[in-house]
Chain A
Amino acid sequence: GAGVSQTPSNKVTEKGKYVELRCDPISGHTALYWYRQSLGQGPEFLIYFQGTGAADDSGLPNDRFFAVRPEGSVSTLKIQRTERGDSAVYLCASSPRGGRGATQYFGPGTRLTVL
């Protein structure tokens, strides 16, 4: 079946602009995760949704970052007033049930470049 999809695959924006990144999880997966991967580093956790609600948003770096999942399926990561330091690959993952020990399946990522 279809895996996790993310759009756009690449996004170039200017410092100070607003961006939205979209994630379509695997159908039926109740848990959804966002991670950020800087060049040469492992992915870093941002936020975890169980259904429509954010179960853990402890990884969001500041209040410029916000994510929603209004119907418990598609999620959007929103970044306000982008900074050059926000440049990274933003990865989305989904899991059938979430919670402890749940296998997470990753999408291909969105490469964000802030000029």
Chain B
Amino acid sequence: QQQVKQSPQSLIVQKGGIPIINCAYENTAFDYFPWYQQFPGKGPALLIAIRPDVSEKKEGRFTISFNKSAKQFSLHIMDSQPGDSATYFCAASRRKLIFGQGTELSVKP
């Protein structure tokens, strides 16, 4: 019940494409769902987060879609750029963060 499953494991898109990363959770007690971006040798940095009473949240080029009944949420990156190439982690939380396995995104010029 504590797991967060993330897919795909890796993703390659062309510049300007819209990569989509999906996550699923089981524990309905989770009440906060952040996405983190991590570059090699760095700690995770918060990108965007959503609470379960909202179905969508957009910040700049990043959008979270949240489906409470399906217990799924996803990250969309609009107009992706080579600088977006990084590893992305979804997480679910009440107090401590439970992370997905990560998606390595590569945006080709």
Give chain A's interface residues, CB within 8 Å of chain B: 4, 33, 35, 40-45, 48, 55-56, 59, 91, 93, 98-109
Instruction: Report how far A4 CA is from B49 CA in the complex, Å.
Output: 20
Q: What residue in chain B is nearest A6 (Cβ atoms)?
A: B43
Give chain B's interface residues, CB within 8 Å of chain A: 4, 6, 31-32, 34, 36, 41-46, 49, 51, 89, 91, 93-102
Assuming the contacts A33-B96, A45-B96, asked whether A104 and B102 have C-beta atoms less than 8 A apart, the reply is no
Partner of B97, one of A40, A45, A109: A45
- A105, B95: Cβ atoms closer than 8 Å: no
- B96, A48: Cβ atoms closer than 8 Å: yes
Q: What residue in chain B is nearest A104 (Cβ atoms)?
A: B97
Q: What residue in chain B is nearest A106 (Cβ atoms)?
A: B43
- A91, B43: Cβ atoms closer than 8 Å: yes
- B32, A100: Cβ atoms closer than 8 Å: yes
Instruction: Report how far A96 CA is from B44 CA in the complex, Å.
Output: 17
Q: Which residues of B contact A55 (CB under 8 A)?
A: 95
- A4, B95: Cβ atoms closer than 8 Å: no
- A109, B43: Cβ atoms closer than 8 Å: yes
